[in-house]
Structure 1
Amino acid sequence: MEKGTNCEYCVNYSYDEDYECYTCEVNLDEDEMAHFITGNFRQCPYFKMGDEYRVVRKQM
């Protein structure tokens, strides 16, 4: 089974208040967007693991 990318953990996946849903902030081309929408976006080249505690570590 091929391991996929989980967008929920990506830095580029954030809540858009205008659309009231989560969106990818990366400017995807037409083919990439089609794969993203259908859920077939495996091994995303733009994936960056989000680290919500990064700011806290800098304050210490």
Structure 2
Amino acid sequence: MAEQGSCDTCVNFVYDEDYEYYVCDMDLDEDDMVRFLTGNTNSCPYYQLYDEYKIVRHQM
């Protein structure tokens, strides 16, 4: 898995309707949480590209 940095394109970055803002859906440890809260996500091990067309390409 390639490590990336932009939460905006991560499948784990989801909108929480209770809090009315986006949150990371992974169970982060203390170090990962500090990186997430400070915006330093250049080496996030949980990053997965949100690709809504992945299934379609697989079916072709």
TM over 0.5: yes
Report the 3-state secondary structure (helix = DSSP H, G, I; strand = E; otherwise coil) of the residue aligned with 1:8: helix
1:21-44 Cα offsets, whole Å, 9 max, x none, are: 000000001111011101112221
TM-score (norm 2): 0.78
Do residues 30 (structure 1) and 8 (structure 2) align? Answer: no
Structure 2 stretches lacking a partner, 5+ long: none
Alignment match, 1:6:
6
Uncovered stretches (5+) of structure 1, i.e. residues with no partner: none
Q: Larger relative contact order (C-alpha < 8 A, sep ≥ 6)?
A: 2
Deviating beyond 6 angstroms after TM superposition, the runs of 4 or more aligned structure 1 residues are: none
Please tell me whether Structure 1 or Structure 2 has the larger radius of gyration of its CA atoms.
Answer: 1
Alpha-carbon distance in 2 for matches of 1:24, 1:13: 5
Contact 2:12 2:24 in 1 (8 A): yes
Given the alignment of the two structures, is residue 48 of structure 1 paired with residue 43 of structure 2, yes or no?
no
Which stretch of the first structure deviates more once superposed, 39-48 or 10-19? 39-48
TM (norm. structure 1) is 0.78
